[in-house]
A = this chain, B = another copy of it.
Amino acid sequence: MQLKRYTHQNRMLLAVDCIIFGFDGTHLKLLLIKRGFEPQKGRWSLMGGFVTSEENINQAAARILKQLTGLTDIYLEQLAGFGDPHRDPTERTVSIAYFALIDINKYEEQLSHEYSAEWFSLKKLPSVIFDHKEMIEMAKEKLRYKAAFHPVLFELLPEKFTIPHLQTLYEDVYNKVLDKGNFSRKILSTGLLVKQKDKEKNGSKKGAFYYKLDKRKYQLKFNSFLNFIPNPEVQSK
């Protein structure tokens, strides 16, 4: 027997929007697309899409992310729901924002061409549509918060990376210069890193050893707090 539907209730559109972070070796960046349809055609926007009738919201977010980057099995976390009645002037649309952390070298260029996508430095973001600015701010905040206690920033690095490389990432995320000696000791003490035989030789004379993440320990220790950043000055949440 088919149940009755709820009567006298207001139905609306449900969308997901993805805040996609990447790290180019120097700065944290965000992938935005040039919106290809009305309203607000031609303006910068987060990649998003409507949730279809037979998928759940997490699946929708993963689908949207794949659509733009070609990537699957990506760190993707629900951020928050945004539901002001007129956030999209066209029609009532509630959007669930997700943030994704990807290796900037891996995404598929041709796909991002289709959407006229570009990476923007977080300090030089263009104006974006609707409430996307607010979503981005919240995502930045959440990333800082999360990364202060969980080794989540590794998701932004390639498989092989150096400790100075990692430190640059932390410094950019927290906008704070860290002592390299202490950073190195602290990060190594977690036991999360596996030293490689080879070194990376660009931009340094001595060269810095490559490391890989110990995936097993990463899973295991993800929730035990690292507390890398002494006073992260996290604003909210």
Contacts and interface: CB of A to CB of B under 8 A. Distances in A.
Contacts of A11: 11-13
A236 interface: yes
Contact of A14 (B3, B14, B225): B14
B92 A53 contact: yes
A198 interface: no
A83 B14 contact: yes
User: For the complex, would chain A's binding face be called helix, strand, loop or mixed by DSSP majority?
Assistant: loop
A10 B90 contact: no
A72 interface: no
A209 interface: no
B90 A3 contact: yes
A211 B110 CA distance: 63
Given A55-B85, A231-B224, A39 B92 contact: no
Contact of A53 (B10, B52, B90, B236): B10
How many subunits of this chain does the assembly comprise?
2
* Size range of the chain A interface in the assembly: 35 or more
A10 B52 contact: yes
Contacts of A39: 3
Nearest to A149: B149
A89 interface: yes
A81 B96 contact: yes
Given A3-B39, A3-B89, A10-B13, 6 more contacts: A3-B38, A4-B90, A12-B12, A94-B94, A224-B231, A225-B231
28 contacts: A3-B39, A3-B91, A4-B38, A5-B90, A5-B91, A6-B90, A9-B13, A9-B50, A10-B50, A10-B51, A10-B52, A11-B11, A11-B12, A12-B13, A12-B51, A12-B53, A51-B83, A51-B94, A56-B83, A56-B85, A58-B83, A81-B81, A83-B96, A94-B94, A223-B234, A223-B236, A224-B231, A225-B231
